[in-house]
Structure 1
Amino acid sequence: MKVGVPASASSSSKRQRCHILHKFSYSSIAPQVNQQLHREFSGMGIHSFEIIVGIDFGTTHSGVSWAANGASKTIRLINTWPDPQAQNASKEKVPSSISYQNGVPKNWGYVVGLNDESFRWVKILLEENHKYATTVAPVNTLLRKVEKTAQDVVSDYLKLIWDYTIDDIKKFHPEDTFDLRVILTVPAIWSAAAKDKTLRAAKSAGIPGRIKLVTEPEAAALATLKEKADENQLKVGDAFVVCDAGGGTVVGPKLRPGLDYLRRGGLCGSAFLDVAFIKHIETLVGATQYQDIKESNRKRMMKDFEFGIKRCFSGKNDPDFSVELIGVKDDPGSGIVDDTIVIKPLSSL
């Protein structure tokens, strides 16, 4: 979630005034980058028919939007990602996950099966200076098995995303000829080397050469600034703060119109909540028993956590949650009965 917060100082008391302006959905960055780029290109005198594509490649999930640089500039947010398990195939993001068979991509996104050996969180490895060797150890093991680098895997995933995007564009413009501009978001805290690897991976994926890298929180800040300025909710001199809490990184830039923005953050996104949850379950059932449970059943449990507990938890008067872990032994004293583990909020413990 992206939350925009303006802070302005009163001339009399010099106290800061803060309130929540807007909550961004996880899929907001790519469309907002498009809006910003529309303004830039218009200012450059570009009026030919072109399509601008925004790709938000995330650690856990990714999203894509596109728009024709015409009069209406209507943004098309792709929400029809392939998902054989979905009853309602309308999701703004697709998992940043890919599996291989005989060295070539097999499945990606929601199509990755519970029994597939799949890559997750591989984006983190594009930044060499990360400090989570233990967390991404399974990724490194799988890289050696398929004889690929993290950049190779990212490139393969982006190619699948890109091919699907082109097919989506052709549904609306089957006979048209157009130019393409691509905006790809990157974490603001990434090094120049990590950004260069992202760019190389995108080009290897067949994405056209005119690729613009935009930092995720900067895109969100610019979009919110424009939106709220149109609604007269900001005034000259206000400072603007956005917290970009993503799957891998969390960054909080402070922006003041006309000035550079400050940013602070780190690798502490929601993916590390998954790691903490796994450690909690291991402690609850015992590390040996947990490792003996089929991997597909453990993955199914993590789906319960990802799409249930993690998204529903509010921290205020939460009910008891539960996850299914097929194969775990009953332990009523620990809330484990019939392959179901009860997860109690901290306030009730």
Structure 2
Amino acid sequence: MPITTRAPYDGTYRKLVLAFDVGTTYSGISYSILNPGEVPQIKGVTRFPAQEKVGGSSKIPTILYYDRDGNVRAVGAESMRESLRDTIEEEGWVKVEWFKLHMRPKSLSKSNSLEEIPPLPAGKSVVSILSDFFRYLYTCARTYIIESHGNGDQLWRSVESNIDYVLSHPNGWEGEQQQQMRRAAILAGLISDTTSGHGRIRFVTEGEASLHFCLQNGFKSDAFKIGAGVIIIDAGGGTIDLSAYGATSNSKKDVYEEIAPPQCHLQGSVYVTLRAKNFLQDYLKGSRFAEDIDAMSDFFDKSAKLAFDCSPLFIKFGGARDRDPALRIRGGQLTLLGYGNFSRISVPVS
């Protein structure tokens, strides 16, 4: 991997590159419009449906809702709207989240004993769900580019038949997982099922993608010295990826090369939440608060977990009448006294 600045695009016609980062819990889009002779600029999609008033949000929840007939009804931030709660319940929509983990290699599954990943809806495969999500990301990218650039409609028409895709995946994903992602792209209509169509997709590991970003934005100058190296840790929703690169030199240019096999562990943040839920089920077993565990787990995931350290944790779930001093519950809030209480949900060391 050369340690250089970007060179001007040497193609003969304008092209668009869309990069989809589909994460276990959150996803994002970046893009670059390649004009002959110009140095490419990488930009991010920072506005999505139902997030218009947020401003500058570069990611959306990796969530879909299907109705009883299997039709997509809400995706991303749209699925989180309070106005949909009654409709979801009344019409029996099915929530799909963490579906990316159903693609995990069997070798990785053995590294984690927790098998509480939400099941896929009846009649849906992980490829079909991923294709629906790809289709949504494509629509979001199209809308954003048209609305964010001068003469956006004309710009889009000039590139819509010349789009390449970059799809990121965890370090531990292999050929089988890449094939599933390719099939999803075909099913979503992003590419044709031909040799030329397949050639419009490039796969990149999350470790390598992070290195590219750091090379352009984050490294200090001494990190580029020959003999220096970097370790990249990508702690995501589903996996924790570790990559090690060293700066070397050949006859033409300085490069970064992998100096150790990349690692991928199914120990991402969703597993912290799953272990917390298991702990709460054990802790509150037989109490009248057992029915509130889902609400507690949801609050832990969205709030308490983000400030997790050895200090007490406060998990809100109910109202002022919810009280049981023996369980450290007061005013609808459960207090856990720090690290000792979570010793049973610590991440196993492999």
Q: Same fold (TM over 0.5)?
A: yes
Q: 1:328 to 1:250 in 2, by over 3 A?
A: farther
Higher RCO structure (Cα 8 Å, ≥6 apart): 1
Instruction: For 1:188-207, list aligned pairs within 5 A.
Output: 188-207=171-190
TM-superposition CA deviations, 1:88-109 (whole Å, max 9, x none): 3542221111110121111111
CA contact (8 A) 2:62 2:98 kept: yes
Alignment of 1:261-276 (within 5 A): 261=259, 262-276=261-275
Name the SS for the 1:175 alignment partner. helix
User: Measured at CA, do residues 226 and 160 of structure 1 come closer, stay the same or move farther in structure 2, by a change above 3 Å?
Assistant: closer
Within the candidate set 96, 99, 109, 2:65 is matched to 99
Residue 124 of structure 2 corresponds to: 148
Residue in structure 1 matched with residue 252 of structure 2 by the alignment = none
State the distance in 2 between where 1:185 and 1:118 align: 24
In the alignment, which of 114, 118, 139 is matched to residue 138 of structure 1? 118
Instruction: Identify the residue that residue 250 of structure 2 maps to in structure 1.
Output: none
> Equivalent pairs: percent with the same residue?
20
Equivalents in 1 of 2:216, 2:299: separation in Å?
37
With over 3 angstroms needed to count, the CA separation of the structure-2 counterparts of 1:277 and 1:348, relative to structure 1, is: closer
Q: Distance in 1 between matches of 2:305 and 2:240?
A: 16
How many residue pairs get aligned? The number is 303
Equivalent residue for 2:142, pick from 163, 166, 173:
166
Q: How does 1:240-259 map to 2 (within 5 A)?
A: 240-257=230-247, 258=255, 259=257
- Summarize the Cα distance change of 1:41–1:127 in structure 2 as closer, same or farther, 3 Å threshold: farther
Take 1:136 and 1:346, find their aligned partners in 2: how far apart are those partners?
24
List runs of 5+ in structure 2 lacking aligned partners: 192-196, 248-254, 343-350
Which residue of 1 is the match for residue 194 of structure 2? Answer: none
TM-score normalised over the length of structure 2 = 0.75
* Cα distance in 2 between the residues matched to 1:248 and 1:182: 23
Q: Distance in 1 between matches of 2:50 and 2:306?
A: 19
SS in 1 for 2:280: helix
Q: Which structure 2 residues correspond to residues 1-349 of structure 1 after superposition, within 5 A?
A: 39=6, 42=9, 45-70=10-35, 71=38, 73-83=40-50, 88-101=54-67, 102-113=69-80, 115=89, 116-129=93-106, 130-131=109-110, 135-136=115-116, 138-140=118-120, 143-144=121-122, 147-171=123-147, 172=149, 173-176=152-155, 177-178=158-159, 179-208=162-191, 209=197, 210-227=200-217, 231-257=221-247, 258=255, 259-261=257-259, 262-286=261-285, 292-293=291-292, 298=294, 300-313=295-308, 315=309, 318=311, 320-325=313-318, 330-346=323-339
Mapped to 1, the partners of 2:296 and 2:105 lie a distance apart of: 31
Deviation of 1:59 (Å): 0.9
- Classify 1:265/1:301 alpha carbon distance in 2 versus 1 (closer, same or farther; 3 Å): same
- The separation in 1 between residues aligned to 2:339 and 2:8, in whole angstroms, is 50
What is the Cα-based RMSD across aligned positions, in Å?
3.3
Which region of structure 1 is more displaced relative to structure 2, 204-213 or 243-252?
Answer: 204-213
How far is the alpha carbon of 1:193 from its aligned partner? 0.8
Consecutive unaligned residues in structure 1, runs of 5 or more: 1-35
Q: Which moved more, 1:232-241 or 1:87-96?
A: 87-96
Q: Which amino acid aligns with 2:335?
A: V
Instruction: Tell me how far 1:134 sits from its aligned partner.
Output: 5.4
TM-score relative to the length of structure 1? 0.75
- Distance change >3 Å, CA 150–CA 124, structure 1 → 2: same
